[in-house]
Amino acid sequence: MAELRISAKNLGELARPEFCPRCFWLKSHARYLPFQIFPGIFSSIDAYTKRVIHAWMDRNGGAPFGLENLGDVAGYVDPTRYSRFMMKVPEHDILLTGAPDEILTFRDGSIAVIDYKTARFTPAQDRLMPMYVVQLNGYAAIAEHQGLGRVSKLALVYAEPVTDERTAARPEIHTDDGFTMPFAVSVHPVGLDLGMLKPLYRRAREIYDLPEAPEGRKGCQDCERLDRLMLLARKL
Ligand code: SF4
């Protein structure tokens, strides 16, 4: 069987309560799916969050916005040091990949892996938490494998747009060429447990190796809609 190349985030799909093996099989075999448009603005804001935090750290030392509660922050790892962020899992012939948003360094020599989210922390975000936990633990495994340091902390950093009327009316929001939007930042530590990855590697491999797509998730009607679309397309 071919090597299974999978991102830590996609591996995290297996931990979601609403995980669908059919979806997983289809996504792993057809690497490019239609109707997968993701607005680029969120990546831009995540990158901006990172630049704001780096600028603050360069100017003041330590870390802002509650990140300092994670530990005695010394700085951050230059992102060029982890531009090819991946590791082989030979036991299951898997290539685990990822792209961590941030790696902070602590004065005790350990590191923290951070993922930025441009979102409000809502119950919907909470439902995605099992996936994010695996994603961050996957990044931690790769970081240690690549020798970036011993991982001692994982965290999600939410940057929530502040859009209420009072904020929008503040004079400093209006600029000569447009307006600015403040963000409220909150830090959510995530449990470190690299042992959780092993059964997920095994399960990912099992599903990937199936000769055909397994049954879909009960109650999901999208596959039926897809069948109807395909029937319709044949009639055109
Ligand atoms: S059942 Fe739903 S989740 Fe599963 S493959 Fe079909 S559309 Fe995707």
Q: What is the pLDDT of residues 210-220, one digit of tens each?
A: 999 999 888 88
Residue 65 structure tokens: 């916005």
Percentage of the chain exceeding pLDDT 90 = 74
The sign of the dihedral angle between the CA atoms of 165, 166, 169, 172 is negative
Type of residue at 144: E
The sign of the dihedral angle between the CA atoms of 228, 229, 232, 233 is negative
Least Cα distance to 188 among 75, 66, 92 occurs for 66
Percentage of the chain exceeding pLDDT 70 = 100
What's the 90 CA to ligand 1 centre distance in angstroms? 30
Could you identify the atom of ligand 1 that is nearest to the CA of residue 220?
A: 2
| Beta bridge mates, 87 | 96
What is the number of alpha carbons within 13 Å of residue 195 lying toward its C-beta? 1
What's the 217 CA to ligand 1 centre distance in angstroms? 6
Residue with CA at minimum distance from ligand 1 atom 6:
223
Question: Longest Cα pair distance anywhere in the chain, in angstroms?
Answer: 66
Q: What pLDDT, on the 0 to 100 scale, is given for residue 15? A: 96
Q: Is 65 left (phi over 0), alpha (psi -120 to 50) or beta?
A: left
What's the 44 CA to ligand 1 centre distance in angstroms? 30
pLDDT: which is higher, 6 or 40: 6
- As a whole number, mean pLDDT of residues 7-30 equals 93
Residues 168 and 154: their CA atoms lie apart, in Å, by: 34
Residue with CA at minimum distance from ligand 1 atom 5:
23
Element (H, E) at 139: helix 129-145
Could you identify the atom of ligand 1 that is nearest to the CA of residue 226?
A: 7
Residues 19 and 206: their CA atoms lie apart, in Å, by: 15
Least Cα distance to 112 among 69, 59, 159, 52 occurs for 69
What's the 184 CA to ligand 1 centre distance in angstroms? 35
User: What three-state secondary structure class fits 7?
Assistant: strand
User: The whole model's pTM is what?
Assistant: 0.91
Q: Nearest 5 degrees, angle CA 120-CA 122-CA 124?
A: 120
Residue with CA at minimum distance from ligand 1 atom 4:
216
- As a whole number, mean pLDDT of residues 109-133 equals 90
DSSP 140-182: HHHHHHTTS--EEEEEEEEEEE---HHHHT-GGGEETTEE---
> Which of the listed residues 10, 217, 227 should we mutate to test ligand 1's pocket, taking the one with most ligand atoms within 8 A of CB?
217
Residue 222 structure tokens: 């999208």
Residues 111 and 139: their CA atoms lie apart, in Å, by: 12
What's the 22 CA to ligand 1 centre distance in angstroms? 6
Q: Is the CB of 159 under 6 A from ligand 1?
A: no
For residue 32, is pLDDT > 80?
Answer: no
Q: Supply the angle between the helices 129-145 and 197-208 in degrees, to the nearest 10.
A: 100
Q: Is the CB of 220 under 6 A from ligand 1?
A: yes
Residue with CA at minimum distance from ligand 1 atom 1:
216
